[in-house]
Chain A
Amino acid sequence: MIIMVETLLVKNIIGYATIQDLGRRGYRSIGIPVSGVLDRISYIYSNYLLNNNLYEAVIEQYGYGEYVVLNDTIVCVTGGARHIIVDDNEYDAWKPVFVKKNSVLKIKPDRSPLIYIAIYSGVKCNNVLNSKSTYLRAGIGCVRNVLKPNDIIESNKRVDPSNLSLLLDKGSLINIYEKQIPSSSETIILRSTRSFHSDLIWDIDVLLRETYYLSSEYDRMGYRLEGKPLDSTRNLGRLPSIPVDRGFVQIPPDGKPIVLMSDSQTMGGYAVALHVLQPDVDRLAHAQPDQKILFREISFSEAERIIEKYYNILEKPVLNIDIYYH
């Protein structure tokens, strides 16, 4: 029997919101981007705190959003929100909150505009190529577009009220919020390894020394940075397209870096200077225009160790994640 529960009605979004999960794996060889959430850590914890399956789809909201609750549910908001407002009452984010039918949720950015809203039992919709993630550029996903007013978000199961205390037992993880979400005055450090064209970019030291700033051009595909341009790429012309991925730092002929994000194309013809580690891409996703950004080189074996830890957390989140940040 297929159950679905109409759970949230989208009332208003300022910015944009899409349905996302961890993305599509295994299709890069035919040109399909992985897509998926921009901040995987915030995403995983939204499901984890709700006792959901970890990889359920959620709403990725960039900006402000208002929703009407159509059926009793529990929500867990993570990412850049510190609070959620349910009918004019304020509750902590990074914590499951039981919300009754007909109440209105208002979710606004605090530290950053990038916010995750998980609902009890997960967003229900059909997989496309094993994922519910929305890839806007090709209209791929169970919802093929951004969420609009009057869209209805369905979930997989109803909340059993007798179970409620059990469902809310994980408590608050605002300590993760403090570490995971950079405030706009923080300089975001991007640990990176050398990459494909590092040898060709003779002035790569500039990139590793100077401070860069997020430009006003950034989206789910890439974040363009401002700052001292590199001269080395000016005359490289077009390079043969090679596979690229989230975290690749491309340097187009204008010399200004672009960090590829979750909707990264699968191949690119710009010089690739560095490869930013995935956990730091998660944090970069929260950057705001003019925010300071520094690249810091690390060795490849150190990168492997960090990625191992990262994959472990994404598969088995723990309440005390201090170890993950050190």
Chain B
Amino acid sequence: MIRRIPSGGYCYTIEFCKEISRDCIEKIHRVYYSLLNKLSNSFEIVVGLTALTIYYDPRILKYIDLDRIVLEALEDSERFELSFERKEWIIPVVYGGEFGLDIDSVVKYTGLTIDEIIKYHVSKKYLCYAIGFTPGFIYLGELCEKLIVPRLETPRLTVPPGSIGIADRLTGVYSVESPGGWRIIGRTPLKIFDFNRENPMPIKPGDIVSFKSISIEEYYELRDVFISDYHG
């Protein structure tokens, strides 16, 4: 059941589902790209894990009119395939050691060895579900069943930039330093987010991201290379 919730006089949220799932997020992406085509730049649209929100100016369009456009987009998304091009990205990662702050606890939870954890983590191509909470944080799904672990009981106050975390059915990339409660299994040397660029974050919802295990030496060679300049 899709719910449409206006709030605050300028905010309109569409809830697609109650639980995170691949089906649900793909539907959200279809509607997101359809709305990007239908609405001008003066609307800001943000993808969440089970919902998307449109921030609008009620002087340009009232909720009632926006609602009509949203219903259209919802219908379109049933009929048409995804109207955007998925990009593929590869993120090199040093797993474990000083960079995989929580890999030992993941070993304990899963009963896997570190090599197995790496094998399962790099074996999938992930869908970029959403970006946010902090600048450039990437939510990726779905994680291999064998790697499902709970969040940390007490979140860290600072997670180093580039950290790769796992929690529940998702894996994610902390693009900038921030607090965080996901279990950290490795770190990428790449710069994923650069606010000095016109496009600080080239990865978009709906893109495909995979990981590649690299050595410490490679880590230092690739340090601070911007994600767009890395071609695996």
Contact = CB atoms under 8 A, between A and B. Distances in A.
A201 interface: no
B53 interface: yes
Interface string A272-284: 0001111000000
A242 interface: yes
Q: Is the interface of A mostly helix, strand, loop or mixed?
A: mixed
Interface of B: 5-11, 13, 15, 18-20, 41, 44-53, 55, 57-59, 62-63, 130-137, 139, 151, 175-178, 193, 195-196, 200-201, 205
A30 B48 contact: no
Nearest to B181: A238
Contacts, number: 147
Contacts of B8: 192-193, 195, 245, 247, 275-278, 303, 307
Contacts of A267: 46, 48-49, 130, 132-133
Given A195-B7, A300-B63, A243 B52 contact: yes
Contacts of B53: 242-243, 245
A266 B134 CA distance: 7
B232 to A, nearest CB: 22
Contacts of A195: 5, 7-8
A243 B13 CA distance: 8
A266 B41 CA distance: 18
Contacts of A241: 48-49, 130, 132-133, 139
B19 A240 contact: yes
B7 A28 contact: no
Interface in A1-52: 25-33
Contacts of A303: 7-9
Given A30-B136, A278-B8, A300-B6, 15 more contacts: A29-B131, A31-B131, A31-B201, A32-B200, A137-B134, A240-B18, A242-B53, A243-B13, A243-B51, A245-B53, A267-B133, A275-B7, A275-B8, A304-B62, A311-B59
Nearest to B43: A26
Interface of A: 25-33, 128-129, 137-138, 140, 192-196, 238, 240-243, 245, 247, 265-268, 275-278, 300-301, 303-308, 311-312
B51 A196 contact: yes
B55 A28 contact: yes
Contacts of B44: 25-26, 28-29
Contacts of B7: 193-196, 275, 300, 303
Nearest to A265: B133
